[in-house]
Amino acid sequence: MADARQGFERIGTRLVQIEVSGKVAWMLAGTDRAARLSGPCVRLLGAFDAYLLGYARRDLALSRSFARRIQAGGGWIHPALVVDGRVVGTWRQQRTAGGLAVTVKPFEGIPRDVRPRLEAEARDVGRFLSLDVQFAVDSRPRNH
């Protein structure tokens, strides 16, 4: 904690205080403007990504109503679709004869401005693996 406090103090003049879900948080000054100008940030996080590990509560990143879809129990954390820092779905990848099939399953609908960035993120997974990507959205309702 001492190191964390020291680091926070060193960059304190570059931070702005914001409110997130009714709680105080901090971010680098100007980051919010840059994010608004560049559009939604879309990421496909793998299973057990550090973004979702080690927290007693994940409320800032993941709505409680969808939490069981990411962590169903037994310590397993599923791959997550994240838009602007919020987990909004799951995804999977499967090797095929033609490359890699990437399928996302959003918890709710995908906004129109997110779709191109989501497809680009899926292609980037394929680029990393040197595989061509077939992208799909599975919007069928989930059966519990």
- Are residues 46 and 31 part of one domain? no
- 88-100 confidence digits (pLDDT tens): 999 999 999 989 9
The DSSP 8-state label assigned to residue 79 in this structure reads -
Q: Are strands 99-106 and 86-96 parallel, antiparallel or unpaired?
A: antiparallel
- Which band of pLDDT confidence, cut at 50, 70 and 90, is reported for residue 32? low
Domain holding 120, by residue range, is 40-144
Residue-level pLDDT at 107: 94
**Main-chain phi, psi angles of 106, to 5 degrees:** -70, 150
- Are residues 54 and 30 part of one domain? no
- Are residues 58 and 29 part of one domain? no
- Are residues 31 and 46 part of one domain? no
Who has greater pLDDT, 139 or 79? 79
How many independent structural domains does the chain possess?
Answer: 2
- Are residues 110 and 49 part of one domain? yes
- Are residues 44 and 13 part of one domain? no
**Main-chain phi, psi angles of 99, to 5 degrees:** 145, -115
Contact call for residues 102 and 110 (beta carbons, < 8 A): no
Who has greater pLDDT, 76 or 34? 76
CA dihedral sign of residues 123, 128, 130, 131: negative
This prediction's pTM: 0.76
- Which band of pLDDT confidence, cut at 50, 70 and 90, is reported for residue 53? confident
- Are residues 136 and 126 part of one domain? yes
